[in-house]
Amino acid sequence: MVYIIGGSGFVGSFLIKELIIKEKIQNLDKNQSPFFPEKTIIGNILNKQDLNLGSDIKSLVLLAAEHRDDVSPTSLYYDVNVKGTKNVLEAMDKAGIKNLIFTSSVAIYGLNKVNPDETHIQDPFNHYGRSKWEAELAIKEWYENDPENKSVTIIRPTVIFGERNRGNVYNLLKQISSGRFMMIGKGQNKKSMAYVGNIVALIKDRLEKNELGYHVFNYADKPDFSMTELVNVIENKMSLKLPKNQIPYWLGMLGGYGFDILAFLTRKKLSISSVRVKKFCATTQFNADKVHSVFKAPYTLEEGLNKTLEHEFIHPQKDDILFFSE
């Protein structure tokens, strides 16, 4: 059996759909699964009594996490991402489970790093990144207690996008596909992204290989697109012709500050801000050579974008099953 913790969310829903054909699956989540309620047990990793794992479990995939930017109080990041992980490890020891796959994040590297690989120093800038790194340290300690018999895979994905996800990539695609988009800056800054179909394929691949040892992988679909290349993909898929005028970076930031003031005065969260302009114009790339040397992604980045555009904007689905993230 493959036991998934946190499988009712975006990645987990795709993962169960991929695994259920050949594997016996059990999902533990504090929320009911919109697609697989018959495979789901309601529980919380903060409650040790909910982690009553059976001896028939051969592998455990830990997806559960507090990850949004606006979690309050911030202690929840450490309660769920660190203490919750330690609770899972303790339960795994009791059940004799030796194979763990854990989804971490490139947030452990911090901001404005130059294409960091898995050996890059950890420098998280927010509570989410710090809590994920502390969880990794707990897993490393757990592994080193019995390294000859355990299999650990830690996946550090960049921003994940795909059908039904309402995160930052969706918001960007929506803005561009609306036809009312104008580039801020020169558009040569590159963005590492990961299509959900490739993330779940990687998890499935690691489950099948079940290699002993401690394995850490960044994940991003390659090659990275520049903002101009991303716009071109969307134009081609949706038969759009967007204006080629570019707003200078300084002018975009000035407009962002204006929206900051408006948001402060109205006490409303607006879709445009100086922080969003800065993020839009920044280069955020992560080295994923290691994973792509041992794993062949089933979808190219362009194919993942096209599948998302098809589902969300060309032939939009109206079943209201959506997943919200940053």
Q: What is the DSSP code (8-state) at residue 284?
A: B
The helix/strand/coil state of 326 is coil
Q: Residue 22 CA to chain centroid, in angstroms?
A: 25
Would residue 170 show up in a list of annotated catalytic residues for this protein? no
* Residue reference for tokens 């919750």: 84
Distance CA 322, CA 25 (A): 22
Q: What tokens appear for 107 in the block?
A: 């947030």
Q: Identify the sign of the CA torsion 220, 226, 227, 232.
A: negative
Bridge partners of 259?
A: none
Site of tokens 């710090």:
130
- 143: part of which helix (H) or strand (E)? helix 127-144
Q: Are 246 and 184 in contact (CB under 8 A)?
A: yes
Whole-number Å distance between alpha carbons of 120 and 140: 17
Q: How far apart are CA 112 and CA 201, in angstroms?
A: 29
H/E run at residue 254: helix 249-266
**Residue closest to 60 by CA, chosen among 95, 30, 34, 33:** 95
Residue 307: what residue type? K
The contacts of residue 174 (CB under 8 Å, 6+ apart) are 312, 313
Locate all alpha helices (DSSP H) within 210-295, ordered by sequence: 227-238, 249-266, 274-281, 289-292
Exposure string (b/e) for 71-91, b if CB count within 10 Å is 16 or more?
Answer: eeeeeebbebbbbbbbbbbeb
Instruction: Check 77, 109, 128, 195 and give the catalytic one.
Output: 128
Which helix H or strand E contains 192, and what residues bound it?
A: strand 190-195
Residues annotated as part of the active site: 128
